[in-house]
Amino acid sequence: MDDKTRLQLKKTATLIRKGIITAVASAGSGHPGGSLSIADILTYLYFVEMKIDPRNPKDPDRDRLVMSKGHCTPGLYAALAHRGFFPIEDLESFRQADSYLEGHPNMNKVPGVDMSTGSLGQGIAAAVGMALAGKLDKKDYRVYAILGDGELDEGQVWEAAMAAAHYKLDNLTAIVDYNRLQIDGDITKVMNPEPIADKFAAFGWNVISINAHDFDEIEKAVNQAKEYKGKPTAIVAHSVKGKGVSYMEDQAQWHGSAPKKEQAEQALAELDEYLKSLE
């Protein structure tokens, strides 16, 4: 990746992080932690990798992204808004009764959302279906599914993993946001899913571990997944929950609570500061 692209992606990811804070602060509820941890991956996928067209969001040949950890709408919506699927100002209407920006993804209401999710464990299964349809229809679109590490507790994730390997869905890439936190705390204390990479490998997947906040590593992994034939790929993305907002980083309590006005201002100021440092 050249320096110019990397710098541009860092700027875009920071704008998306600002969008996340704006959305949850306006709503007074929502999930900032797990949205901030995937902001860089969403930026790379939506701004570099995915074949998508905001003017034709239902194009049958498009690449698809399933937010299997459906609570991370602030991240998903901020990325879609900045990519041009809907006005950025609309993020301020997040979770309001008169808004289309539902708390969890709704594929019929929000342009660019490929699957309605919210019940953890099901999105990855829907992504398997999309990948299977791609094979049936001999299309060359790719399917991305973003999973939480807590979400891996659901047996359905592993049912889907087994099916994806069984049908050799090499057009499917699952990204596990490995931020090591779920609602009740440290994933290894609540319900230990380790060793995550080895589990996917044992289920017949190609597995790549990366730093979720390094664009070069993201790019390399996404490209490797595309080239790998005969198996789906799992990218285990080592991340920091709440990444980019100092007081939210690695704190379980910011999983599903919104910053108060002053806290939001501080977060936005920090992100602006970082933007400036990139200039």
Partner 1 sequence: MADKIATRVAYGNTLAEIGSNENIVVLDADLSKSTRTDLFQKKYPERHFNMGIAEGNMMAVAAGLASCGKTVFASTFAIFAAGRAYDSVRNSIGYPHLNVKIGATHAGITVGEDGASHQAIEDIALMRAIPGMTVICPADAVSTAALVKQAAEIYGPVYLRLGRLDVPVIYSSDAQFSIGKGVTLKEGNDLTIIATGYMAEPAMRAAESLKAEGIDARLIDMHTIKPIDEEIIIKAARETGAILTCEEHNIMGGLGSAVAEVIVKNHPVPMDMVGIMDVFGKSGKPADLVKMYGLTPENIVEKAKSLIGRK
Q: Point out which residues bind ligand TPP (CB under 6 A).
A: 33-34, 69, 71, 118-121, 148-151, 177, 179, 181-183, 241, 255
212 phi, psi to nearest 5 deg = -70, -10
In the complex, the smallest distance separating the C-beta of residue 184 from ligand TPP, rounded to whole angstroms, is 8
**Considering beta carbons, is residue 104 or 220 the nearer one to partner 1?**
104
Residue 22: which of partner 1, ligand TPP, Mg ion, none does it interact with, CB under 5 to 8 A by kind? Answer: none
Question: Number of residues in contact with partner 1, rule: CB under 8 A?
Answer: 31
Pick between residue 211 and residue 257 the one whose CB is nearest to partner 1: 257
Rounded to the nearest whole angstrom, what is the least distance from the CB of residue 8 to Mg ion in the complex? Answer: 28
Query: Is residue 179 close enough to count as binding Mg ion by CB under 5 A?
Result: yes
Task: Determine if 118 is a binding residue for partner 1 (CB under 8 A).
Answer: yes
List the interface residues with Mg ion, window 119-148 (CB under 5 A).
148
Residue 153 near partner 1 by CB under 8 A: yes
CA angle 122/196/185 to nearest 5° reads 75
User: What is the token pair recorded at 143?
Assistant: 């399917």
Site for partner 1 in 11-50 (CB under 8 A): 27-30
Distance CA(145)–CA(171), nearest Å, equals 11
The candidate with the shortest Cα–Cα distance to 21, out of 9, 6, 48, 39, is 39
Q: How far apart are CA 100 and CA 226, in angstroms?
A: 34
In the list 61, 137, 184, 273, the residue contacting partner 1 (rule: CB under 8 A) is 184
Contact flag: residue 279 with partner 1 (CB under 8 A) = no
In the chain, the DSSP E strands lie at: 64-67, 143-148, 172-178, 181-182, 185-186, 206-211, 233-238
Closest to Mg ion by CB, 33 or 112: 33
Helix-helix angle 123-136:155-166, to 10 degrees: 10
Distances (CA, A) of 201 to 82, 120, 204, 220, 234: 35, 22, 5, 19, 9
- Residues 195 and 63: their CA atoms lie apart, in Å, by 30
Contact positions with partner 1 (CB under 8 A) in 86-115 = 95-99, 101-104, 106
Q: What does the alpha-carbon distance between residue 9 and residue 26 come to, in Å, rounded to a whole number?
A: 25
Please report, as ranges, the residues that interact with partner 1 according to CB under 8 A. Answer: 27-30, 70, 95-99, 101-104, 106, 116-121, 150-151, 153-155, 182-184, 190-191
